[in-house]
Structure 1
Amino acid sequence: MITVPAQPFPHSFDPAHVALLCIDFQRDFVEPGGFGESLGNDVSRLRTAVGPTRAVLAAFRERGWPVIHTREGHRPDLTDLFPAKRDRGNPSLRIGEEGPMGRLLVRGSKGHDIVPELAPLPGEVVVDKPGKGSFYATDLETVLRARSITSLVVTGVTTEVCVQSTVREANDRGFEALILSDCTGSYFPEFHESALAMFAAQGAIVGWVATSTDLLGAIDSSPVPAKDM
Structure 2
Amino acid sequence: SLGNDVSRVTAIVPTVKRLIEGFRAAGLPVIHTMECHRPDLSDLPPAKRDRGNPSIRIGDVGPMGRVLIAGEPGTAILDELAPLPGEIVIEKPGKGAFYATGLGDDLKRLGARQLVFAGVTTEVCVQTTMREANDRGYECLVAEDATESYFPEFKAAALAMIRAQGAIVG
User: What TM-score, normalized to structure 1?
Assistant: 0.73
Q: CA deviation at 1:195?
A: 0.3
Q: CA deviation at 1:148?
A: 0.6
In the alignment of these two chains, the number of paired residues is: 170
Does residue 206 (structure 1) correspond to residue 169 (structure 2)? The answer is yes
Q: How does 1:169-188 map to 2 (within 5 A)?
A: 169-188=132-151
Does residue 110 (structure 1) correspond to residue 73 (structure 2)? The answer is yes
Q: Distance in 2 between matches of 1:89 and 1:52?
A: 30
Deviations 1:182-226 (A, max 9, x none): 10000000000110110011011011xxxxxxxxxxxxxxxxxxx
Dislocated runs of 4+, deviation >2 Å:
none
Instruction: Answer with 1 or 2: which has the greater Rg.
Output: 1
The amino acid across from 1:157 in the alignment is V
The amino acid across from 1:39 in the alignment is L
Higher RCO (C-alpha under 8 Å, 6+ residues apart): 1
> Quick check: 1:48–1:182 contact (8 Å CA) kept in 2?
no
Question: 2:43 corresponds to which residue?
Answer: 80
Question: 2:101 corresponds to which residue?
Answer: 138
Q: Distance in 1 between matches of 2:11 and 2:135?
A: 29
Question: 2:131 corresponds to which residue?
Answer: 168
Deviations 1:161-185 (A, max 9, x none): 0001000000000001110111000
Question: 1:224 corresponds to which residue?
Answer: none
Deviations 1:93-121 (A, max 9, x none): 00000011100000010011001110000
Does residue 157 (structure 1) correspond to residue 120 (structure 2)? The answer is yes
Secondary structure of the 1:162 match is helix
Identity of aligned residues (%): 63
Question: 1:30 corresponds to which residue?
Answer: none
> Quick check: 1:159–1:184 contact (8 Å CA) kept in 2?
yes
Q: Distance in 1 between matches of 2:37 and 2:159?
A: 28
C-alpha RMSD of the superposition = 0.6
Q: Distance in 2 between matches of 1:157 and 1:86?
A: 20
The amino acid across from 1:198 in the alignment is M
Q: CA deviation at 1:62?
A: 1.1
Q: CA deviation at 1:65?
A: 0.7
Q: Distance in 2 between matches of 1:184 and 1:123?
A: 24
Q: How does 1:38-53 map to 2 (within 5 A)?
A: 38-53=1-16
The amino acid across from 2:50 in the alignment is D
The amino acid across from 1:176 in the alignment is E
Residue ranges of structure 2 left out of the alignment (5+ in a row): none
Question: 1:193 corresponds to which residue?
Answer: 156
2:21 aligns with one of 58, 76, 80: 58
Q: Distance in 2 between matches of 1:146 and 1:89?
A: 38
Q: Distance in 2 between matches of 1:163 and 1:142?
A: 19
Q: Distance in 2 between matches of 1:90 and 1:78?
A: 19
Does residue 129 (structure 1) correspond to residue 92 (structure 2)? The answer is yes
> Quick check: 1:186–1:192 contact (8 Å CA) kept in 2?
yes
Does residue 67 (structure 1) correspond to residue 67 (structure 2)? The answer is no
Secondary structure of the 2:77 match is coil
Q: Distance in 1 between matches of 2:165 and 2:12?
A: 26
Q: CA deviation at 1:49?
A: 1.5
